[in-house]
């Protein structure tokens, strides 16, 4: 286990563009969102909300007793850096929460622009949910001035659920040691103590760690640049299909606006019953994500991430053409 953890601890930081440790815990990503708040937010949080997961981050902050102000973008859009700068001018915050790829809408925020907006606000930490981006698209933690980045095993890393990850900048670590209510399991200071010993802070989810070790090896063999290019190619295939006359005839669109579309997940607006459409796709051997929350009746989501290929995505799009034909003959 020590040898395995040593390999995992060495392989994770480059995936998110940091030289800081990446801590691994057994649990869902939501736990690490709470960890980011408990260890990174003192009292006043500015939450950038572009969908359900941005809203979840805001609610976690509230549940942890922080005072939260939301900056909300319409579904399919992202909060602009200008809006962030403006909010920072007019309010006192000590942390900003952001979601890199908003899985509920398929949008991707320009986190680097958030980092630039925060450049003159030394004391404001940038806490980033990178659950649907790590392993599928570049995450440049240090270059983009992110203070806390969290992720999990079950999205673009294409692993079973059960593992979550968190990394902290030195500034975030310095803040954490001063915060009184970090709790225990989610405390990054405690995680760091175990990391230094080459261990994990709780009993490790050993089967998942074997899978992670194997997958990190497979990712290294593919190469990160190639892996990210494959994700962009899968997204492009979906965008192209949706821009085609055939899809337009079916009345299908992409929720996320051009320029903010994620390479890892697409949210399609569909005419008629989205739940029925998912069923028709399942009958054809394809599993798509249902729309999330308020978008459940009107959208489906294609998770073109992880180990999927352009070829498989093309087959799915053929099946989608077919299913749409049956939905509205
Ligand atoms: C899936 C997801 C989560 C929640 O992950 P859990 O492991 O279910 O807690 C959080 N944020 C984003 C962006 C996600 O896609």
Q: What is the CATH number of the domain that holds 99?
A: 3.40.640.10
d(CA 279, CA 188): 42
User: Is 103 a pocket residue for ligand 1 (Cβ < 6 Å)?
Assistant: yes
39 and 184 fall within a common domain = yes
User: What is the pLDDT at residue 292?
Assistant: 86
User: What is the pLDDT at residue 327?
Assistant: 86
User: What is the pLDDT at residue 296?
Assistant: 87
* Mutation test residue for ligand 1: of 132, 165, 266, 295, the one with most atoms within 8 Å of CB: 132
Q: Which of 184, 204, 222 delimits the end of a domain?
A: 222
177 and 261 fall within a common domain = no
How many whole angstroms from 116 Cα to the centroid of ligand 1? 26
User: Is 165 a pocket residue for ligand 1 (Cβ < 6 Å)?
Assistant: no
Tokens of 65: 């007793």
Tens digit of each residue's pLDDT (9 = 90 or more) over 269-280? 998 889 999 999
Q: Which of 178, 202, 222 delimits the end of a domain?
A: 222
* Mutation test residue for ligand 1: of 57, 129, 162, 306, the one with most atoms within 8 Å of CB: 129
Q: Please, what's the b/e burial string for 307-317 (b: 16 or more CB within 10 A of its CB; e: otherwise)?
A: bbebeebeebb
Summarize the confidence of residues 115-125 as an average pLDDT. Answer: 96
Q: What residue numbers bound the domain in which 54 lies?
A: 2-222
121 and 164 fall within a common domain = yes
Helix/strand/coil for 192: helix
- Tokens 């395995």 sit at which residue? 4
How many whole angstroms from 238 Cα to the centroid of ligand 1? 22
User: Is 83 a pocket residue for ligand 1 (Cβ < 6 Å)?
Assistant: no
How many whole angstroms from 53 Cα to the centroid of ligand 1? 7
Using a pLDDT cut of 70, give the percent of the chain over it. 100
Burial class (CB in 10 A: 0-12, 13-18, 19+), 67: exposed
269 and 164 fall within a common domain = no
Given the CA of residue 132, which atom of ligand 1 is nearest to it? 15
Look at the chain and report how many structural domains it folds into.
Answer: 2
17 and 77 fall within a common domain = yes
213 and 251 fall within a common domain = no
- Going by alpha carbons, the residue nearest to atom 12 of ligand 1 is 131
User: What is the pLDDT at residue 53?
Assistant: 97
Q: Which of 195, 222, 249 delimits the end of a domain?
A: 222
75 and 200 fall within a common domain = yes
How many whole angstroms from 29 Cα to the centroid of ligand 1? 5
Q: What is the mean pLDDT of the chain?
A: 96
Q: Estimate the crossing angle of helix 52-63 against helix 29-40, to 10 degrees.
A: 50
User: What is the pLDDT at residue 248?
Assistant: 77
Position 287 pLDDT exceeds 80: yes
Summarize the confidence of residues 13-40 as an average pLDDT. Answer: 97
User: Is 117 a pocket residue for ligand 1 (Cβ < 6 Å)?
Assistant: no
> Could you tell me where the beta strands, DSSP code E, fall in 169-323?
253-254, 266-269, 289-290, 299-302
- Tokens 């801590």 sit at which residue? 23
Phi, psi of 172 (to 5 degrees): -65, -40
| Higher-pLDDT residue of 291, 20 | 20
| Contact criterion met (CB below 8 Å) for 162 and 181 | no
Position 247 pLDDT exceeds 80: no
Tens digit of each residue's pLDDT (9 = 90 or more) over 231-241? 999 999 999 99
Tokens of 125: 């930490």
147 and 294 fall within a common domain = no
252 and 209 fall within a common domain = no
Using a pLDDT cut of 90, give the percent of the chain over it. 92
Q: How confident is the model at residue 263 (pLDDT cuts 50, 70, 90)?
A: very high
Q: How confident is the model at residue 329 (pLDDT cuts 50, 70, 90)?
A: low
Helix (H) or strand (E) holding 129, with range, is: strand 125-129
**Cα distance from N-terminal residue to C-terminal residue, the chain:** 56
Given the CA of residue 30, which atom of ligand 1 is nearest to it? 9
239 and 291 fall within a common domain = yes
Tokens of 92: 């006192």
Q: What is the pTM of this model?
A: 0.97
32 and 165 fall within a common domain = yes
Q: How confident is the model at residue 131 (pLDDT cuts 50, 70, 90)?
A: very high
Tens digit of each residue's pLDDT (9 = 90 or more) over 301-326? 999 999 999 999 999 999 999 999 99
CATH number (domain holding residue 321): 3.90.1150.10
- Tokens 């899968």 sit at which residue? 234
Tens digit of each residue's pLDDT (9 = 90 or more) over 139-198? 999 999 999 999 999 999 999 999 999 999 999 999 999 999 999 999 999 999 999 999
> Could you tell me where the beta strands, DSSP code E, fall in 17-155?
22-26, 44-49, 67-72, 95-99, 101-102, 107-108, 125-129, 148-152
Position 110 pLDDT exceeds 80: yes
282 and 297 fall within a common domain = yes
How many whole angstroms from 279 Cα to the centroid of ligand 1? 24
């Amino acid at each position: 286990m020590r040898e395995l953890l040593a390999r995992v601890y060495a392989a994770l930081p480059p995936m998110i563009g940091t030289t800081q440790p990446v801590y691994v815990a057994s649990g869902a990503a939501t736990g690490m969102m709470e960890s980011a708040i408990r260890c990174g937010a003192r009292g006043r949080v500015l939450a950038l909300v572009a969908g359900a997961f941005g809203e979840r981050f805001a609610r976690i902050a509230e549940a942890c007793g922080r005072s939260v102000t939301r900056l909300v973008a319409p579904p399919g859009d992202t909060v602009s850096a200008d809006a962030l700068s403006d909010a920072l001018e007019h309010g006192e915050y000590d942390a900003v929460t952001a979601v890199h790829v908003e899985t509920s809408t398929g949008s991707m925020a320009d986190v680097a622009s958030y980092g630039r907006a925060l450049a003159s606000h030394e004391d404001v930490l940038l806490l980033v949910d990178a659950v649907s981006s790590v392993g599928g698209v570049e995450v440049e933690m240090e270059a983009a001035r992110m203070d806390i980045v969290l992720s999990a095993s079950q999205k673009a890393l294409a692993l079973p659920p059960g593992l979550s990850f968190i990394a902290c900048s030195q500034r975030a670590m310095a803040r954490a040691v001063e915060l009184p209510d970090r709790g225990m399991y989610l405390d990054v200071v405690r995680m760091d103590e175990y990391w230094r010993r080459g261990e994990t802070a709780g009993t490790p989810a050993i089967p998942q760690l074997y899978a992670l070790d194997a997958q990190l090896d497979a990712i290294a063999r593919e190469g990160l640049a190639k892996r990210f290019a494959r994700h962009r190619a899968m997204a492009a295939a979906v965008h192209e299909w949706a821009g085609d006359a055939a899809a337009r005839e079916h009345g299908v669109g992409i929720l996320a606006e051009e320029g903010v579309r994620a390479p890892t997940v697409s949210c399609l607006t569909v005419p008629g019953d989205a739940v029925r459409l998912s069923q028709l796709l399942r009958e054809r051997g394809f599993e798509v994500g249902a729309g999330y929350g308020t978008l459940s009746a009107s959208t489906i989501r294609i998770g073109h991430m992880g180990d999927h290929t352009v070829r498989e995505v093309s087959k799915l799009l053929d099946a989608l053409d077919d299913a749409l034909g049956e939905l509205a003959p």
